[in-house]
């Protein structure tokens, strides 16, 4: 009975002008606070996502790419160095050591910052990388002594790299790339929640002013006008900041990280082809499998016509003329390298093994080594430029959100204050 009586009193109260105005004021304050809270949370969440992209997910993805590339290049360089009799060329030895140092450094970063999905891959890499290095050093020792046993250790090391280390590095790269893409997708989404709630807030404020005009015969209510302006400004500021940040994040994906991913895959394919080229020669007539794998890697790199494959896709994706020029340069080096590789195979098939090795590993112009190095350098330039654009877009996204959190809070306070100033004096007139 008491509950029913309370309901009846509430209905009676709402049936009066002051009761209706009081209920409307409370509703506006509640909706305004919810609007401010949702806006603040949306900006805060977007800021956290942008920070994660710029400081953690993006750099970690880069380190995973560097790890994958360094391991591939180390395998290719070790194989090429093994073709020489005795002591390998100093530049190849240094390149191998640099690759291993880079792989170790990138692996350390991944261990520190990677999430749970890459844990198994990291365990494999940490356990097997020293074994690979040991096999290479053993092969190198036997090669310096002129013993054929070194070839067996080199093939065992290469098998460990291709069957265990590179798949683990690829899985780690996939995990970190997916993490980056997920963060970019979330950060680039349209802020539907705050926009819809803001529209509801504005409609409610306009309706309140119409009702106040009819109830009090006052054309303008300064408090509600101020509240409406504050709501409109908060909605506009938050929406523009969120959309601008989302656009910059999306730009960082299309012009930066997506292109980096393609170019990194192309760089790995080139390194695999380089290793296969050397292993074909090392096998001394028994390297048909490696030569087939060379062709497969090259098809992935530039396609069967020399203008497709990963580099062809990268050229189509490149957003600027300078990017397209760098990719085109890489495609040119790849085509010339393929032609030289065919010369190497022709010399080897004709029994001119020493000439074939010289054409494959000598550092002079128009050799396989020089063209592979030029190709790798060109791809590296493209990756560096895309990485820089990714960083610029990430910084731009963070800049777009600067001040938005504080602005939403302050404008929400102004909105609530405007409702209070505009409505409660009018309510008091009926007492």
pLDDT of 218 reads 63
Q: In this structure, what are the phi and psi dihedrals at residue 141, rounded to the nearest 5 degrees? A: -60, -50
| Tokens matching residue 97 | 């050591």
Calculate the alpha carbon distances from 323 to 216, 258, 306, 384 in Å.
Answer: 66, 13, 18, 10
Dist. CA 360–CA 369, nearest whole Å: 6
What's the helix, strand, coil split of the chain in %, to 5? 85, 0, 15
**Cα–Cα distance, 291 to 297 (Å, whole number):** 10
How far is residue 356's CA from residue 75's CA, in Å, rounded to a whole number? 20
Quick: pLDDT tens for 116-167.
677 788 889 999 999 999 999 998 888 888 777 887 888 899 889 888 998 8
Dist. CA 301–CA 296, nearest whole Å: 9
Q: What is the pLDDT of residues 4-31, one digit of tens each?
A: 554 555 454 544 656 677 778 888 889 8
Residue 57's contacts (CB-CB under 8 Å, 6 or more residues apart) are: 176, 179, 180, 183
Are residues 122 and 111 in contact, defined by beta-carbon separation less than 8 angstroms?
A: yes
| Dist. CA 79–CA 149, nearest whole Å | 14
The single-letter DSSP state of residue 118 is G
- State the Cα angle at 379 between 373 and 384, rounded to 5°: 120
Per-domain residue ranges of the chain: 29-428
Burial of 310 (0-12, 13-18, 19+ CB in 10 A): buried
pLDDT-flagged residues of the chain (< 70)? 1-19, 56-57, 84-87, 113-116, 215-219, 425-431
How many Cβ atoms sit within 10 Å of the Cβ of residue 38? Answer: 18
Predicted pLDDT at 60: 72
What sign does the dihedral 230-231-234-236 (CA atoms) show? Answer: negative
- pLDDT score recorded for residue 329: 94
Q: Is 84 exposed, middle or buried (0-12, 13-18, 19+ CB in 10 A)?
A: middle
pLDDT digits (tens, 9 = 90+) for 178-226: 888 888 888 888 888 888 988 999 998 888 888 777 766 666 778 888 9
Q: Which long-range contacts (CB under 8 A, 24 or more apart) does 41-48 make?
A: 42/191, 42/193, 42/194, 42/238, 42/242, 43/238, 43/241, 43/242, 43/401, 43/404, 43/405, 43/408, 44/405, 46/187, 46/191, 46/242, 46/245, 46/246, 46/401, 47/398, 47/401, 47/404, 47/405
């Amino acid at each position: 009975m008491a509950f029913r009586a309370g309901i009846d009193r509430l209905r009676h109260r709402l049936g009066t002008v002051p009761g209706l105005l009081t209920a409307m004021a409370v509703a506006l304050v509640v909706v305004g606070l919810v609007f401010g809270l949702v806006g603040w949370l949306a900006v805060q969440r977007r800021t956290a996502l942008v920070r994660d992209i710029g400081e953690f997910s993006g750099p970690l993805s880069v380190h995973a790419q560097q790890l994958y590339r360094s391991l591939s290049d180390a395998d290719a360089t070790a194989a090429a160095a093994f073709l020489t009799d005795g002591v390998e060329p100093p530049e190849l030895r240094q390149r191998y050591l640099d690759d291993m140092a880079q792989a170790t450094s990138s692996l350390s970063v991944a261990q520190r910052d990677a999430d749970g999905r890459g844990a198994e891959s990291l365990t494999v890499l940490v356990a097997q990388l020293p074994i690979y290095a040991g096999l290479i050093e053993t092969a190198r020792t036997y090669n310096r002594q002129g013993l054929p046993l070194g070839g067996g250790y080199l093939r065992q090391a290469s098998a460990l790299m291709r069957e265990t280390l590179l798949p683990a590095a690829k899985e780690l790269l996939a995990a970190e790339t997916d993490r980056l893409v997920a963060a970019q997708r979330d950060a680039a989404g349209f802020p539907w929640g705050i926009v819809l709630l803001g529209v509801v807030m504005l409609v409610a404020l306009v309706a309140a002013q119409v009702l106040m005009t009819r109830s009090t015969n006052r054309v303008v209510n300064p408090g509600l006008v101020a509240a409406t302006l504050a709501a409109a400004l908060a909605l506009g500021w938050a929406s523009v900041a969120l959309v601008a940040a989302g656009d910059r994040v999306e730009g960082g994906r299309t012009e930066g990280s997506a292109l980096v991913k393609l170019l990194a895959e192309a760089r790995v394919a080139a390194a695999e082809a380089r290793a296969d080229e050397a292993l074909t020669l090392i096998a001394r007539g028994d390297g048909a499998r490696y030569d087939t794998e060379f062709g497969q890697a090259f098809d992935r790199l530039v396609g069967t016509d020399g203008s497709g494959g990963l580099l062809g896709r990268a050229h189509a994706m490149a957003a600027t003329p300078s990017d397209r020029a760098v990719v085109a340069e890489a495609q040119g080096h790849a085509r010339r390298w393929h032609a030289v590789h065919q010369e190497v195979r022709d010399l080897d098939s004709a029994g001119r093994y020493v000439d074939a090795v010289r054409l494959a590993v000598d550092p002079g112009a128009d050799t396989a080594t020089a063209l592979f190095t030029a190709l790798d350098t060109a791809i590296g330039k493209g990756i560096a430029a895309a990485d820089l654009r990714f960083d610029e877009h990430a910084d731009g996204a963070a800049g777009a959100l600067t001040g938005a959190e504080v602005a939403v809070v302050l404008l929400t306070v102004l909105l609530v204050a405007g409702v209070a100033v505009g409505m409660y004096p009018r309510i008091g007139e009926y007492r």
